Structure 1
Amino acid sequence: MKCIHKVLTIICCLFLVGSLSRAIAQGFTHPGLLQNTEDIERIKRAVADKQEPIYSGYLVFAADAQSQYTYQMQGPMTMVGRNPTVGQNIYDTDAAAAYQNAIMWVITGKKEYAAKAEEIINAWSSTLKSITGRDAVLMTGLGPFKMINAAEILRYTDAGWSAADIEKTEKHFREVIYPVIKNYALFANGNWDSAAIKTDMAIGVFCNDRAIFEDALRYYVNGAGNGRLSNYIINEAGQCQESGRDQQHTQLGIAHLADCAEIAWHQGLNLYAYDDNLLLKGFEYTAKYNLGLDVPYTPVIDKSGKYLHKQISLEGRGRFRTIYEQVYNHYVNRMGLPAPYTQQVAEKTRPEQKGSGGDNVGFGTLLYSRSGSSNKKTAIIAPAPPAGLIAKTTPENGNIISWIEPVNVASYTVKRSESPRGAFNILASAIKKSVYRDHDAIRGKTYYYTVSAVNNAGQSSDAYPVGITSALPAGWNLAALDTAKQGSVAFDGNAFTIQGEGALIDSVHDSGQFLYRPLTGNGTIIARYVPQISSQLTSFGLTMRQGLKADAKQVSLLMSPEASRQVEAPQWNLKLILRNTAGSKVLSAVNVPMEDESIVTFSRLTGYCWLKLQRQNDKCSAYYSTDGITWKMIGTVSNSFDSQLYIGFFVASGMPGLATAVRLDQISVNNEPLSKN
């Protein structure tokens, strides 16, 4: 069977380090999720030649009930859900069958397998309208990942899938699957969060949507939740966020992160190597412990503020998930790096069986086994563009741009523009590291950056750009109140992202981050909360203060959680509070439970919410909105401020030593929008 790549632009070439040929549509390689063209051809040859261990892996795979073109589809359904469970197993089983039949199609060339995979994908894409339940985010990060991988293979391997069905499936992934996971799962353990990341990445590739793909990459390396690589694998030893919870969830979390890295590799990006091969350290730590050996353990609170495990868990120790072949074959056979404990587990569990339920694919012996000879270091073509650009700024160091490096890059060219639409001018060339400091940026000015990669075969196209306002917009400053450590804030031209710690504001001494600007006389500040927050103990909102002391006179409108008996179910409230005189206690004027399901679902702050605080002489009025058009009054209080005061945003993580992240956009002060875009 010949694999014909139906893409907008076709480039025929040899690639390096395990990639042979690729076709690029709108900047993407296709097929380019868990399998690319080189993988498919490698597997086909090995099966035809009965090459071990791949052939043994194939026998396991081919014998599985969901690998048969005679498989009887169990769905579709119009709605599925998890907690409460509605059709979860039906969807997950069908998704696995779609993926496994797609793999059987490209191995055997038999159209019956392609037809079965198409039947399943088309049926669910036409029928499923919603994924519901308290655990909807988790369900959407698991089974649909297999469905998207199946669709990617069919679309780019001459399977005969019609253009109309492809278009319908794209729409389904965008409109039914993506909305559930687009904001990830900052309220949960890291395996939820990382599952959302990989499925977002897959949707971005299949739908040729660079914005979705780039957002997932940025979250992988710089997100605020537990699924971020360095938030899940929390130290150089390789300890994981869920190592103290149990070993099954820990293994699943690192497996999702590895799937992200494999997708990125097929897009020409070396995410596997990010942060000094931190992913490998997580696998080695987990494999070593589950092989019965001792590992160091440090109790650490997670990023949600909900989970603290005082010792590493024995639960599930020695029960290996089917996740190790993929990572062993990348680091050892692709890259020539040692991974002794991962290798032991891969050999111990070979041939790798299917994954557990809808959790992960499995079958790694078939899908990922390769010889060490694939580790070739000479570039044949120009590298892929860098990706996942992150921009940070400080008054002392200027703007700092970092990125995920492409495979086999020699150097970088960094460019800058004052508009997101260009033109970009070269700032520096022959940059050797994947970070650049722009010391010439003017304070208060917004810049946009892009980067291209260079090797001995040429130069890549420009990376997806990132924006940052140097230091802060004119007039704005950040102060840490009371004993809170100084946090950070960035403005990307549209939104503020405020990060930092702080206990609370309803006491004599306010503790948190205050992002402010001066206000003279009357005024109004409006902002939209962009989901989601990281610490689930976070309080945030709008405030007017008579100075920067922790006990200053103030009026604030805050979104705050009220603890309940269940850590997973706080009550979110909008509170209007005031301090009439400096040094006195804060008074709660109005406390409104937030019960609007467009803002709070299952006790999680998952929806957009607009906040408004208005001063008219000695009266301060507070409002909220679900659309930024129709406003609901929270209340009005009296506070005799001086003419000169500060107006802005207050953020507190709810726990000393624990940072949170809050994003606010659509900001205006006195009806003047902060964003100029």
Structure 2
Amino acid sequence: MPHPAASVSHGRTPRPALVATVATLTVALVAGFLAWPAARHATAAPGTFVHPGVTVSRGQLDFARDKVNAGAQPWKTAYDQMMASTYASLSRTPKPRAVVECGSYSKPNYGCTDEREDAIAAYTTALAWYFTHDARYAKKSIELMDAWSATIKDHTNSNAPLQTGWAGSSWPKAAEIIKYTYSGGWPAAGRFGTMLRNVYLPEVINGSHSNGNWELSMMEAAIGISVFLEDKASYDKAVTKFRGRVPAYIYLASDGSLPKTAPGSGLDTRDEIVKYWHGQNTFRSGLTQETCRDFTHTGYGLSAISHVAETSRIQGQDLYPEVGERLRHALGFQAKYELGETPPSWLCGGSLKRGLGPVTEVGYNALHNRLGHTMANTQKLTERNRPAGSNNLFVAWETLTHGDNPR
């Protein structure tokens, strides 16, 4: 007796045309199902952008301000640290340049440090405005942003994409707070937006196939700029780049014997991938593409990942479910050795260059405090390093803004 699946329509032999039709429909349905996740993520931009909404939200700012006003820790100490920094100085004089030229490791350094630090200062004084309601800080933030938007035309030399990414990550954070919380007016806000669109966005939006922290920092800038400009097309493009880069930056055992590669990277062989991963040929969950380079550059990459994920959450298109497991493993992996554990011989030949930087607060708060993941090593490192200050590049005051913040 034939198996029931071998007959159709009460046991009669199926007509060839019907079989072909069923087969075609089956292929189409399977193809459609497999394509569905990609289609679902094709539009990442929110229907309506949330402001302020780059890395830190109004709710997070309100929570932190209430804690500071109550004298609660660690927020009060973090606030005092920020206000005592040179970035919060009301006497700061901006140092804009028409052309910022940055070579490898900022050599030459024609405006590189000045631009990055003025951008951090604009963000710092924007935060100081929000926490104190002292209009002098808002005016200082505006002064810094206006000076650069009236002057800068270009970034040049080999580090131009990275420099643009770093400065371009801080500017929108400052601008979002000022534009959407300060009622005293910002007449040149439109010119600032034009600067972001014409000088910064074109330099970062297409990404980079250099070390992964480059592209991740560039996508952080592109996404922040897109939020400020309410540019949905650029937001979508940057998120697509980000989603391709994160799996190529952080390894999980589920990836197989080799790490994933970013779309268009041109890395086709094991030897090419091992070389790109700085000679590392044994892979464990949480290892990053730059772990064996040094922890400092790794920290840049992990920070950018957490910043993008945080912005996406604020904007209502949460990327933590997609990148959170990689970020959790990477933070824990690096934290273990940053805390002093001796590396095994299979890891970077048993020799590590530590110095992760103040980069764990945002990811730790999201993954441990909000989502409930156990992160013992990351927790220990985060609490040991509080209050987290600035890396003087694009990270600043994250114990204050994100430390144990439930918003």
Give how far 1:70 is off: 2.4
Q: Are the counterparts in 1 of residues 102 and 160 from structure 2 also a CA contact under 8 Å?
A: yes
Amino acid of the structure 2 residue aligned with 1:94 = D
The 5 A counterparts of 1:143-542 are: 143-162=167-186, 164-186=187-209, 188-222=210-244, 228-236=245-253, 237-275=285-323, 277-293=325-341, 311=349, 313-315=351-353, 317=354, 319-355=355-391, 357-358=392-393, 360-370=394-404, 374=406
Q: Which residue number corresponds to residue 392 of structure 1? A: none
Instruction: For residue 50 of structure 2, give the secondary structure of its aligned residue in structure 1.
Output: strand
What is the CA–CA distance in structure 1 between the aligned matches of 2:316 and 2:92, rounded to whole Å?
35
What is the CA–CA distance in structure 1 between the aligned matches of 2:196 and 2:224, rounded to whole Å?
10
Q: Which residue number corresponds to residue 43 of structure 1? A: 64
Give how far 1:313 is off: 4.6
Q: Which residue of 104, 119, 135 maps to 2:143?
A: 119
Is residue 142 of structure 2 the alignment partner of residue 87 of structure 1? no
Amino acid of the structure 2 residue aligned with 1:251 = G
Instruction: For residue 115 of structure 1, give the secondary structure of its aligned residue in structure 2.
Output: helix
Pair 337,158 (structure 1): closer, same or farther in 2 beyond 3 Å: same
Give how far 1:88 is off: 0.7
Q: Which residue of 129, 146, 150 maps to 2:153?
A: 129
Give how far 1:77 is off: 1.2
Amino acid of the structure 2 residue aligned with 1:337 = H
Asked which structure has the greater RCO (Cα within 8 Å, sep 6+), the reply is 2
What is the CA–CA distance in structure 2 between the aligned matches of 1:143 and 1:238, rounded to whole Å?
28
Q: Which residue number corresponds to residue 67 of structure 1? A: 88
Give how far 1:311 is off: 3.7
Q: Which residue number corresponds to residue 9 of structure 1? A: none
What is the CA–CA distance in structure 1 between the aligned matches of 2:345 and 2:233, rounded to whole Å?
38
Q: What TM-score does the superposition give when structure 1 sets the normalisation length?
A: 0.47
Q: Are the counterparts in 1 of residues 96 and 111 from structure 2 also a CA contact under 8 Å?
A: no
**Deviations along 1:332-381, whole A, 9 cap, x unmatched?**
211221111110101111111222x22x323221111236xx48xxxxxx
**Deviations along 1:244-279, whole A, 9 cap, x unmatched?**
111111111111111111111111232122156211
Amino acid of the structure 2 residue aligned with 1:185 = S
Q: Which residue number corresponds to residue 538 of structure 1? A: none
Q: Are the counterparts in 1 of residues 298 and 356 from structure 2 also a CA contact under 8 Å?
A: no
Pair 313,176 (structure 1): closer, same or farther in 2 beyond 3 Å: farther
Q: Which residue number corresponds to residue 461 of structure 1? A: none
In structure 2, runs of 5+ residues without a counterpart are 1-44, 254-284
What is the CA–CA distance in structure 2 between the aligned matches of 1:182 and 1:341, rounded to whole Å?
34
User: Once superposed, which parts of structure 1, at least 4 consecutive aligned residues long, lie more than 4 Å away?
Assistant: 294-299
Q: Are the counterparts in 2 of residues 245 and 313 from structure 1 also a CA contact under 8 Å?
A: no
Pair 172,276 (structure 1): closer, same or farther in 2 beyond 3 Å: closer
Q: Are the counterparts in 1 of residues 324 and 367 from structure 2 also a CA contact under 8 Å?
A: no
Pair 341,155 (structure 1): closer, same or farther in 2 beyond 3 Å: same
Instruction: For residue 131 of structure 1, give the secondary structure of its aligned residue in structure 2.
Output: strand
What is the CA–CA distance in structure 2 between the aligned matches of 1:32 and 1:268, rounded to whole Å?
10
Instruction: For residue 77 of structure 1, give the secondary structure of its aligned residue in structure 2.
Output: coil
What is the CA–CA distance in structure 1 between the aligned matches of 2:352 and 2:163, rounded to whole Å?
26
What is the CA–CA distance in structure 1 between the aligned matches of 2:300 and 2:174, rounded to whole Å?
21
**Deviations along 1:376-419, whole A, 9 cap, x unmatched?**
xxxxxxxxxxxxxxxxxxxxxxxxxxxxxxxxxxxxxxxxxxxx
Instruction: For residue 28 of structure 1, give the secondary structure of its aligned residue in structure 2.
Output: coil
What is the CA–CA distance in structure 2 between the aligned matches of 1:79 and 1:60, rounded to whole Å?
32
In structure 1, runs of 5+ residues without a counterpart are 1-23, 223-227, 300-309, 376-677
Q: Which residue number corresponds to residue 96 of structure 1? A: 120
Amino acid of the structure 2 residue aligned with 1:361 = V
Q: Name the count of aligned residue pairs.
A: 328
Q: Which residue number corresponds to residue 583 of structure 1? A: none
Instruction: For residue 81 of structure 1, give the secondary structure of its aligned residue in structure 2.
Output: strand
Give how far 1:294 is off: 5.4
Instruction: For residue 100 of structure 2, give the secondary structure of its aligned residue in structure 1.
Output: strand
Select between 135-144 and 266-275 the one with higher mean Cα deviation: 266-275
Pair 204,196 (structure 1): closer, same or farther in 2 beyond 3 Å: same
**Deviations along 1:612-655, whole A, 9 cap, x unmatched?**
xxxxxxxxxxxxxxxxxxxxxxxxxxxxxxxxxxxxxxxxxxxx
Pair 159,144 (structure 1): closer, same or farther in 2 beyond 3 Å: farther
Q: Report the structure, 1 or 2, having the larger helix content.
A: 2
Amino acid of the structure 2 residue aligned with 1:133 = N
Instruction: For residue 127 of structure 1, give the secondary structure of its aligned residue in structure 2.
Output: coil
Amino acid of the structure 1 residue aligned with 2:249 = Y
What is the CA–CA distance in structure 2 between the aligned matches of 1:165 and 1:25, rounded to whole Å?
26
What is the CA–CA distance in structure 2 between the aligned matches of 1:276 and 1:137, rounded to whole Å?
26
What is the CA–CA distance in structure 1 between the aligned matches of 2:330 and 2:65, rounded to whole Å?
31
RMSD over aligned Cα atoms: 2.0
What is the CA–CA distance in structure 2 between the aligned matches of 1:111 and 1:25, rounded to whole Å?
31
Q: Which residue of 161, 165, 170 maps to 1:141?
A: 165
Instruction: For residue 156 of structure 1, give the secondary structure of its aligned residue in structure 2.
Output: helix
Pair 136,229 (structure 1): closer, same or farther in 2 beyond 3 Å: same
**Deviations along 1:572-597, whole A, 9 cap, x unmatched?**
xxxxxxxxxxxxxxxxxxxxxxxxxx
What is the CA–CA distance in structure 1 between the aligned matches of 2:165 and 2:324, rounded to whole Å?
27
Amino acid of the structure 1 residue aligned with 2:49 = F
Q: Are the counterparts in 2 of residues 111 and 159 from structure 1 also a CA contact under 8 Å?
A: no
Q: Which residue number corresponds to residue 426 of structure 1? A: none
Give how far 1:160 is off: 2.5
Instruction: For residue 208 of structure 2, give the secondary structure of its aligned residue in structure 1.
Output: coil
Give how far 1:292 is off: 2.4
Q: Which residue of 59, 78, 81 maps to 2:98?
A: 78
Q: Are the counterparts in 1 of residues 205 and 237 from structure 2 also a CA contact under 8 Å?
A: no
What is the CA–CA distance in structure 2 between the aligned matches of 1:141 and 1:312, rounded to whole Å?
32
Give how far 1:161 is off: 3.2
